[in-house]
């Protein structure tokens, strides 16, 4: 089971950009699906973007065209590039490895979009 650590969160103005990184402690090459989720207080954790070993990427409708997920199976990392951020993107962002039998989650990184 890999250990995941997110970084790159922070405070950004509306319209700005951030790049989140997720570093895995082990090999992610054979983990079919890596993903980014986000969560705001009192709400269910929301799927933001996914990346599979076959190269498929999917995005929540709310971030399509603004966010890009990329995985590096050599560096064992998964990045989330975020552009044109809005206050509605404010959340704690979590990295996720969908591995059996125990999926892994990072501790999260806070993204705050505010003027």
pLDDT (tens digit per residue) in 15-53: 999 999 999 999 999 999 999 999 999 999 999 999 999
Residue 4 has pLDDT above 90, yes or no: yes
Residues in the chain: 115
pLDDT (tens digit per residue) in 100-113: 888 999 999 999 99
Mean pLDDT calculated for residue range 64-88: 97
pLDDT (tens digit per residue) in 86-100: 999 999 999 999 988
């Amino acid at each position: 089971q890999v250990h995941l650590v997110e970084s790159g969160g922070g405070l950004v103005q509306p319209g700005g950009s951030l790049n989140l990184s997720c570093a895995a402690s082990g090999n992610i090459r054979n983990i079919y699906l890596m993903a980014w989720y986000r969560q705001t207080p009192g709400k269910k954790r929301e799927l933001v973007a996914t990346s599979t070993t076959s190269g498929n990427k999917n995005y929540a409708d709310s971030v399509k065209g603004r966010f890009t997920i990329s995985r590096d199976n050599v560096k064992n990392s998964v990045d989330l590039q975020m552009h044109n951020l809005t206050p509605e993107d404010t959340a704690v962002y979590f990295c996720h490895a969908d591995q059996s039998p125990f999926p892994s989650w990072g501790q999260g990184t806070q993204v705050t979009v505010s003027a």
